[in-house]
Amino acid sequence: MARRLDVTGADGVRLAAWDFTPGAAPQAGPGVLLLHGLMGHAAHWSPAVERLAAAAHSDAAAGPPHRPRTVALDQRGHGHSDKPPTASFTREAYVADAAAAVEQLGLGPVTLIGHSMGALTAWQLAAERPDLVHALVICDMRASALGAASQREWRDWFRRWPTPFPSLDAVRRWFGEDDPWVERPNPARGAFFAEVMAEHPDGWRPVFDPEQMLTSRETWVHDAHWESLAQVRCPTLVVRGLDGELGRAEAQEMVRVLPHGAYAEIPDAGHLLHYEHADAWREAVGPFLNGVLTA
């Protein structure tokens, strides 16, 4: 059971963090900070964290398992964290929030693991505050610009959501089967979105504000991020799902640009690689994490 921790982010925004570390008391010293993607929340990391903990336990015969303090952050506008005014959803605010979590929870120098938008936040923090970051894992996030057409597609997609949903089963069915963006049935995707719905008198709605999600995306979708990526000096793993949003050629170029980059991919995985294929994700990132966490 994760323990809730409170963090004060940029401009006084209250952020919820969740400590997944086994044991009754928080540990001090370098740890791991997990940053979810757009529309996600901290608990989406649970399957991946459980697999990493199980792997550490199974390796105990070779010595005591190394279990660093592992914390996942509900980023602003997501999960149990505050939903400040839309103008507050800037790249600078997201990065400052992550830095605040590292400093206030005593996690530094931290190993950052980010998915999608959370991965961008992670590498921007690593570039700006190398003193805080020991290592980095980038999960299925592109460094190239996606452009205005992509932003329009997302706005149209939000408008097609049949909210409010009458039930969580309806949520799972729409996001896992009926959504026009779904090429084939994907129960894991349906479950992913069911986790970020809350019940209201008229039905189930997302815990986030779609307009705020669009604003968050607006701040990075038009720009390329190769320059900040090249400024990351710590060991970095770029991991992609074979059917995800980050193509192999771009991922390998990201590895080339990184001063200390490495590459991994997960067969049969899509964008939600850590959530829908937690075992394969652990196999892909585990060796890298073992190396940097015991260094």
The mean per-residue pLDDT over the stretch 173-187 comes to: 96
pLDDT at residue 56 tops 70: no
String of DSSP letters for 242-268: TTSSS-HHHHHHHHHHSTTEEEEEETT
Is residue 112 within 8 Å of 125, Cβ to Cβ? Answer: yes
pLDDT digits (tens, 9 = 90+) for 210-236: 999 999 999 999 999 999 999 999 999
pLDDT digits (tens, 9 = 90+) for 65-122: 557 899 999 999 999 999 999 889 999 999 999 999 999 999 999 999 999 999 999 9
pLDDT at residue 264 tops 90: yes
Q: What is the pLDDT of residue 122?
A: 98
Mean pLDDT of the chain: 93
- Residue 9: which of 116, 123, 106, 92 has the closest Cα? 92
Q: Give percent of the chain with pLDDT exceeding 70.
A: 94
The mean per-residue pLDDT over the stretch 2-11 comes to: 95
SS3 294: helix
**Terminal-to-terminal C-alpha distance of the chain:** 28
Q: What is the pLDDT of residue 230?
A: 98
- 51 or 204, higher pLDDT: 204
The mean per-residue pLDDT over the stretch 158-184 comes to: 97
Measure the CA–CA gap between 265 and 246, rounded to whole angstroms.
10
pLDDT at residue 26 tops 60: no
Token code pair at residue 118:
């959370």
SS3 35: strand
pLDDT at residue 59 tops 70: no
pLDDT at residue 60 tops 60: no
Cβ contacts of 170 within 8 Å, gap of 6 or more: 162, 204
Confidence of residue 53 (pLDDT cuts 50, 70, 90): confident
Confidence of residue 64 (pLDDT cuts 50, 70, 90): very low
pTM recorded for the entire structure: 0.95
Cβ contacts of 20 within 8 Å, gap of 6 or more: 2, 45, 46, 49, 53, 70, 71, 72
Q: Where are the beta strands (DSSP E) in the chain?
A: 3-8, 14-19, 31-35, 69-74, 110-115, 133-139, 197-200, 203-206, 236-241, 261-266
The mean per-residue pLDDT over the stretch 36-44 comes to: 98
The mean per-residue pLDDT over the stretch 256-277 comes to: 96
Confidence of residue 27 (pLDDT cuts 50, 70, 90): low
